[in-house]
Amino acid sequence: MGDMNSKVVLKAEGIVKVYPNGVVANKDVNLEIVAGEIHALIGENGAGKSTLMKILFGMEQPEKGKIYLNGQEVTLDSPKKAINLGIGMVHQHFMLVESLTIAENIVLGKEPKKNGFFLDRREMLKISSEVAEKYNFSINVEEKIENVSVGVKQETEILKALVRGAKILILDEPTAVLTPQETKNLFEELRNLKKQGHTIIFISHKLNEIMEICDRVTIMRHGVTVETKEVKDTSPAEISSKMVGRDVVLHIDKLPAKKGELCLEAKDLCYTNKLGKMMLDHVSFKLYAGEIVSVAGVEGNGQSELAEILSGMKEKNEGEILIENKRMQDYSPKAFREKGVVYIPEDRMSVGSAERMSIRDNIFACKVDQYLKKNVFLDESRMEKDAKKWIEDFQVLCFSSKQKVNMLSGGNIQKVVAARELTEDFKIIIAEQPTRGIDAGTSELIRRKLIEFRDAGAAVLLISADLNEVFELSDKCVVMWNGKINAYFEDTAELTEEELGYYMLGVKNQSKEEVEKIWR
């Protein structure tokens, strides 16, 4: 890439972006994208990657700075303009209409018309299948989005951008939701796109992916672009230390598990969602003190439903839960908390916190009744004392416990959630995607805490789509596929990523007997 002929297609210079709440997301950002490369953008959460991409896609306007496209200065004041100039973006959360077909989604907004009014179905199918063929995407464009896998949804998003004439594609954490096999497939497609002259900006948290597919990498930290390097001239260790500004331990050492008493037993849990789909199909397992059991699986195979049922957020249709050999009578969140189950929910903004309330209010939301004077009035001095202690303990970066949660970055919000949950009087931790989308430093802190509590005798159920996390933390591992536990591994250490991937996709399934070992 670095040769003299390389042509800069997109250039950002001195970008400054300040959000209305005073958060300086981009302070001095300089980025040069060369034609035909796959350019990685890496950084911790809150480093300003997403903001920069939103600026390049016209969704946000910078306070200062210039953007050049093919050497000409441009003002990107709306996504529409960016699209017209050949910039396309695939968001982390898909922007697709579930009830429409792939083809309909691809042409949506620029549908071919018959007589200037009616939708030209034939032309629509032609456009979408042609583009899929051109870029070697093996998908059936007549299928409805609600019936296809996450990988295909992502391919649809990419095709949508391509049909609109995107020469530069921005992919925001495209692999976060994919299985290893789907990721491999995506990379194949990206290489192909590159071959056909497209330029790709690839945002990721995952170092190994960047090493595998990208040509150059730009590292961001605290709203500043630290450095741009050729991938072949760098190493994962170098990138991660530049990203965090210190050396991150990529591996957490842990002591062997000391299996204790039976803490939680689930028997034949079933749950059918509002659309009538059976999300949990007779799921049974046991959790013992002193062990971390992880639930791996592609998203949407029942893991979040399982977590929600085990925390009382959803009510099961069938089955029962026993905690310390006592059958639960009441399945409300309150009852679970009283029995010593704490829950770190996947959605920290809409479930895990009240964002317009203070850090202190968030931490004490579930402890109100323990911090009272005369049984009625809030004991604010005691709250403040403990809040200070826990804020320090969980390293929440803030200027006061009265700061509102929505002023914090994602990682710090997660620390607030952890500080609330892990200071309860608990025996069982249900952690659902506890480190998703948060920076390496916070992830490390939360993982260490989970291990610390495991060693102190807590039972941990870790639901994670991040295989590194599964391998790093768990003692035992189950895989969920299609609402069932389809594999059980006694010892995570003996497992490989490929092997796990097959079970996650349901290509392989263990026999009933093998899975039932979990009962012993």
Partner 1 sequence: MAMNMNAKVDRYNRYFSIIRFVVAVFIAFFISFVIMAFSTEHPFSALLNLFIGPFTTLRRFSTVLETAIPLTFAGLSVCVMFKARQFNLASEGGFFLGALTSAIVAIYMPLPPVLSIILALFLAGIVGSLVCGIPGICKVKWNSSELVLSLMLNYVALYIGTFIFNQVAKDPSSAYSASFPFREGVNLGNLIPKTRLHYGIFLVAVFVVFTWQFIYKTKWGMKLRIVGENLKFGKYVGIGTTGIIMMSQLLGGFIAGVGGGAEMLGMYSRFQWSALPGYGFDGVVLNILAKENPAYIPIAAFAVAYLRIGADYMYKKSDVASEIVAIIEALVIVLVAANAFLEKYHHKVITRVTAGDKGGKE
- Rounded distance, CA 493 to CA 302, Å? 24
Min dist. Cβ of residue 293 to partner 1 (A):
22
Other Cβ atoms less than 10 A from the Cβ of 131: the count is 19
Tokens at residue 53, please? Answer: 């991409």
Among 104, 157, 265, 361, binds partner 1 (CB under 8 A): 361
Q: Which residues contact 479 (CB under 8 A, 6 or more apart)?
A: 295, 296, 297, 485, 486, 487, 488, 500, 503, 504
Task: Examine residue 378 and tell whether it contacts partner 1 (CB under 8 A).
Answer: yes
Q: Which residues of 328-359 are buried (b: 16+ CB within 10 A; e: fewer)?
A: beebeeeebbebbbbbbbbebeeebbeeeebb
Q: Is 409 in the site for partner 1 (CB under 8 A)?
A: yes
CB of 63 vs partner 1, minimal distance in Å: 5
Q: Which is nearer to partner 1, 178 or 438 (CB)?
A: 438
Rounded distance, CA 211 to CA 188, Å? 15
Burial class (CB in 10 A: 0-12, 13-18, 19+), 274: exposed
- N-terminal to C-terminal alpha carbon distance within the chain: 57
Biggest CA-to-CA distance, the chain: 77
- Give yes or no for residue 113 binding partner 1 (CB under 8 A): no
Does residue 394 bind partner 1 (CB under 8 A)? no
CB neighbour list of residue 91: distance below 8 Å, 6 or more residues apart: 157, 172
Write phi, then psi, for 335 (nearest 5 degrees): -65, -40
Kind of pairing, strands 64-69 and 377-378?
A: unpaired
Using CB under 8 A, pick the residue from 11, 27, 184, 286 that binds partner 1: 27
Question: Is residue 302 part of the contact set for partner 1 (CB under 8 A)?
Answer: no
Alpha-helical regions (H) of 214-350: 236-244, 303-311, 333-338
Burial 63-74, CB ≥16 within 10 A → b, else e:
eebebebeeeeb
- Tokens at residue 63, please? 């306070």
* Nearest CA-CA partner of 155 in 164, 145, 165: 145
Instruction: Determine if 311 is a binding residue for partner 1 (CB under 8 A).
Output: yes
Closer CB to partner 1, 117 or 377, in the complex: 377
Report the run of H or E that residue 41 belongs to, with start and end. Answer: strand 38-43
Which position among 112, 180, 319, 333 is part of the footprint of partner 1 (CB under 8 A)? 333
Q: Residues 15, 47, 161, 485: which binds partner 1 (CB under 8 A)?
A: 47
Q: Is 353 in the site for partner 1 (CB under 8 A)?
A: yes
Span near partner 1 by CB under 8 A; candidates 135-143, 177-185, 372-380, 507-515: 372-380
Contacts of 185 (CB under 8 A, 6+ apart): 151
228 binds partner 1 (CB under 8 A): no
Count of other CB atoms within 10 angstroms of residue 326: 9
- Residues between 423 and 442 with contacts to partner 1, criterion CB under 8 A: none
Q: What are phi and psi of 205, to 5 degrees?
A: -100, -15
CB distance 211 to 231 below 8 Å: yes
How far apart, in whole angstroms, are the C-alpha atoms of residue 263 and residue 323? 6
Q: Are 164 and 111 in contact (CB under 8 A)?
A: no
Q: Does 334 bind partner 1 (CB under 8 A)?
A: yes
Contact between 223 and partner 1 by CB under 8 A: the answer reads yes
Binding window for partner 1 (CB under 8 A); candidates: 32-40, 76-84, 247-255, 331-339: 331-339
Decide: is 329 part of the binding site for partner 1 (CB under 8 A): no
Beta bridge partners of 204: 42
- Member of 97, 365, 493, 507 binding partner 1 (CB under 8 A): 365
Site string for partner 1, 54-73 (x = CB under 8 A): ---------x----------
Q: Does 355 bind partner 1 (CB under 8 A)?
A: yes
Amino acid type, 137: F
Nearer to partner 1, 403 or 510 (CB): 403
User: Which two structure tokens, joined as six digits, stand for 226?
Assistant: 């630290």
The minimum distance between CB 247 and partner 1, in angstroms, equals 19
Q: Among residues 46 and 290, whose Cβ is nearest to partner 1?
A: 46
User: Judged by CB under 8 A, does residue 357 bind partner 1?
Assistant: yes
Options 5-13, 127-135, 403-411, 483-491: segment touching partner 1 (CB under 8 A): 403-411
Pick from 3, 369, 494, 498 the residue near partner 1 by CB under 8 A: 369
Is residue 337 a contact residue for partner 1 (CB under 8 A)?
yes
Only one of the segments 7-15, 67-75, 328-336, 461-469 lies at the binding site for partner 1 (rule: CB under 8 A); that segment is: 328-336
Cβ at position 66, least distance to partner 1 in Å:
17
Is 144 one of the binding residues for partner 1 (CB under 8 A)?
Answer: no
Which region, judged by CB under 8 A, interacts with partner 1, from 186-194, 263-271, 317-325, 374-382? 374-382
Q: Applying CB under 8 A, does 390 fall inside the site for partner 1?
A: no
Q: Minimum CB separation from partner 1 for residue 263, in Å? A: 19
The correct pick among 7, 274, 356, 512 for binding partner 1 (CB under 8 A) is: 356
Residue 453: both structure tokens together? 């509590």
Report helix angle 440-455 to 236-244, nearest 10: 100
Is residue 343 involved in binding partner 1 (CB under 8 A)?
A: yes
Q: Contact residues for partner 1 (CB under 8 A)?
A: 16, 18, 20-25, 27, 46-48, 63, 221-224, 311, 313, 332-334, 336-338, 343, 345, 350-357, 361, 364-366, 368-369, 372, 376-378, 380, 397-400, 403, 407, 409, 412, 420
